[in-house]
Amino acid sequence: MLKPQDIYVLLKLAVIGERSWSYAELAVELGISPSQLHASVKRALGAGLAVKMGVGEFYHASFKQGDRIVPQYRNLEEFLAHGLKYVFWAKPGEMTRGMLTAYAAPPLDNLIAQRWPSGEPPLVWPDPEGEVRGLALEPLYKKAPKAAKKDNEFYELLALVDAIRSGRARERKLAIKELEVRLEGYASNIKSQY
């Protein structure tokens, strides 16, 4: 059964693209243990949201030296667009200090003309070091704010996912469209290598 951190890991793998990585290094970047990372990758492979990619072909059975695990972009895109809000939903909570997310964070903050819909406070990931007050929205994974501060591209993907998880129809539609464009770009970068 999928867990929220599995989507968190897959989004980071999408951002990593062709860069080589190890479980130990990636676990540190994401703020999770290597065993949690292994388990997430295994669940993503089992769910068909990731594949083992060898030189020129996909391997589904055994991991070989030089194989890489990459998101299965079409399946991931379909899950994010149509299943995410039902499986890993999010509802705004109390006012708190935090880091902008969903429609209030890049890239949607530039796509939505009205800064905060209906004059509401922005959505934020609770973070004592945050610079903005807004409605608390629990991140997809608890370590997301810390990891997002180190990787702007990853931050934007997480914010788009939050817009799908918590947003109104307009925000979800814009987030899905932007996410599709980005995932197709990541997919074409991977395919062009092999």
Which pLDDT tens digit goes with each residue over 66-118? 568 999 999 999 999 999 999 999 999 999 999 999 999 999 998 775 555 56
**For the segment 16-72, what is each residue's pLDDT rounded down to a tens digit?**
988 889 999 999 999 999 999 999 999 999 999 999 986 444 433 334 445 689 999
Tell me which architecture the domain covering 4-84 has in CATH. Orthogonal Bundle (1.10)
Contacts of 157 (CB under 8 A, 6+ apart): 11, 14, 15, 179, 182
Question: Is the pTM here over 0.95, yes or no?
Answer: no
Q: Which of 109, 90, 120, 93 is nearest to 156 (CA)?
A: 109
pLDDT tens digits, 136-158 = 999 999 999 999 999 999 999 99
- In the block, tokens 């929205």 appear at 137
Which residues on adjacent β-strands are paired with residue 53?
Answer: 58, 68
What is the domain partition of the chain in residue ranges?
4-84, 95-182
CA distance 104 to 122: 6
Q: Which parts of the chain are beta strand (E)? A: 50-54, 57-59, 68-71, 95-100, 123-126, 132-136
